[in-house]
Amino acid sequence: MPATAEPAPAVLRVLPARPRRASASPWVWLAVALSLPSLVPLLATLGSLTRPDAATLAHLTDYVLPHVGGNTLWLLLGVGIGTSVLGTALAALIALCEFPGRRAFAWLLVLPLALPGYVLAVVFIDLLDYAGPVASWLRDVGAPALPEIRSRGGLIAVMTLALYPYVYLVAREAFASQGARALEAARALGMGPWRAFARASLPMARPWIAGGTLLVLMETMADFGTVAAFNYDTFTTAIYKAWFALFSTDTALQIAAVMLLVVMALVAIEATTRKRRSFAALGHRNPLRMPLGRRAWLATGFCTLVLALALLLPLSRLLWNALAHLADLDARYLQTVTNALTLASIAALLVTAAAFVIAMAARERPGLATTATARLATFGYGLPGALLAIGLYVPVAQFSTWLADTHGWDLVLEGGLLLLLVAYGIRFMAVAHAPVSGGLLRIKPSLLEATRGLGVTGTRQLRLVHWPLLRGSFATAALLVFVDVMKEMPITLMMRPFGWDTLATRVFELTNEGEYARAALPALAIVLAGVVPVILLTRHTSVEKRGRNAA
């Protein structure tokens, strides 16, 4: 019997294990769900361009768009030039020069951020209008009359005083980090102070100044209360009039679509400019500032004048008129205050929580999907409130009607607090996302891995690790959203439930009736709600910066 051959040993091929695809984190799904509402106003407004009505389009192109487009263009040009010049001049004085009161002015000049433009409009129209105290006094003493305050020039001046801190803040940081050392180097080469500033410091800060000015232009495009107080027609007032005066949501959507194209162009330019704002700091962070000698008091006087016009005069006039109208403190006014505080508090909590979810999704699963989700969720800050209101209200109302007609579900989704809070979330998500995501970046991954190794995961990790380390960031985010919602006018005015007044809508109603003195009481409440948080945040930022410099 022949010997049987042993079977050849099987060749075992060890294939490399295929990498396990990471399952989508619940944070990612939540973040996607929270970002989707931002698509609704974008698709609704852009979609209106695909179904133009011939009569509506002819009316818009012949009468509305040339008028509001020209007005908006002149306003953007005037406010852009005014804020860039004023903000840059103040930033250069604070960052590069030494003069009496400089340290105090460094943070005091930020405080006008707490005053909405429509509050400044209330004050200056009340003071300088033909029947106001200043114009009346000038007529009594036979002095020349002041220029008409209800004009394009008056509106540009008021909005410049309200918005210059956007340029001042970014330009001050640019001058402090690069411009001071560049100025010293230029002076060492024999240049005079003005030439050194123009040739060395200013060019290095130019991208930052351009970025701040573009933010101002976006705020100017979004403004409703200030231009309405001056009876100056722009895209925002045209949307409001088309909706509430002509009762034509189609016309309002068409105007909003044209406005959205302009806003998207500004956003694209701002994003491009932001990429260019990256310079390495020259030398140490606290260079010697240039003494101004006998001109030091001129710098002090200039800063005092700006602060007086943008903050002290408005506050004193509001207080004077508010004391004269204390009789307005009735049950309706108290209910208005309660409504405003309730809305701002709920919005602050919800938007901060949503911002944390979006930031956590980007932290847990970094990549293109979560980056796009965060961009979409925070894009709404660049959209004007009037555009958001009409772009969100119309499709939701149409969906509500469809549900009633096809399924018999009588759900009125529009005109309630829920949709109003969704609009706040779209508009102010970026405000909360910045401090929350910044706080998350300071939590080292090694710390989270160590706590997971100890069995601290899920909600326990959120409670024991994230919450203690992020409390400051949460407080900052909630405070910023609270202040912005308290000041917000067009979204609240257009989307609030019937009879649900807030302080901002009350200011609009009184100014619309010409009752500027009576509007001081709710306007003062808005300012007080905004000034204290801005002071706390400004002082906190200054303390942190001094600590980093000392380190």
pLDDT class of 125 with cuts at 50, 70, 90 = very high
Q: Do domains 52-323 and 326-516 have the same CATH topology?
A: yes
Give, in order, the Cα–Cα distances in Å from 49 to each of 240, 244, 257.
19, 21, 7
Distance from C-alpha of 288 to C-alpha of 527, rounded to nearest angstrom? 36
pLDDT at 24 over 80: no
pLDDT class of 216 with cuts at 50, 70, 90 = very high
Q: What is the pLDDT of residue 187?
A: 60
pLDDT at 228 over 70: yes
Q: What is the pLDDT of residue 4?
A: 45
Q: Tell me the percentage of the chain whose pLDDT exceeds 70.
A: 84
Residues 495-511: what's their mean pLDDT?
A: 90
Nearest to 258 by CA among 69, 1, 452, 105: 69
Q: Evaluate whether the domain defined by 326-516 bears CATH number 1.10.3720.10.
A: yes
Residues 136-162: what's their mean pLDDT?
A: 91
Topology of domain 52-323, CATH: MetI-like fold (1.10.3720)
The residue assigned the tokens 């979609």 is: 47
Q: What is the pLDDT of residue 13?
A: 44
pLDDT at 428 over 70: yes
Residue 187's CB: how many other CB atoms inside 10 A?
16
> What's the chain's average pLDDT?
83
Lowest average pLDDT, out of 159-163, 318-322, 530-534, 544-548, goes to: 544-548
Residues 272-284: what's their mean pLDDT?
A: 54
pLDDT class of 407 with cuts at 50, 70, 90 = confident
Residues 432-461: what's their mean pLDDT?
A: 77
Q: What is the pLDDT of residue 389?
A: 92
Distance from C-alpha of 347 to C-alpha of 268, rounded to nearest angstrom? 28
List phi, psi (to 5°) of 37.
Answer: -60, -25
Q: What is the pLDDT of residue 307?
A: 95
Q: What is the pLDDT of residue 539?
A: 58
Report pTM.
0.83
The top-scoring range by mean pLDDT among 200-209, 282-291, 387-396 is 387-396
Task: Domain ranges for the chain, please list them.
Answer: 52-323, 326-516
Query: Using CB atoms within 10 A of its CB, is residue 278 exposed (0-12), middle (13-18) or buried (19+)?
Result: exposed
The angle at the Cα of 278, spanning 272 to 281, to the nearest 5 degrees, equals 160
pLDDT at 19 over 70: no
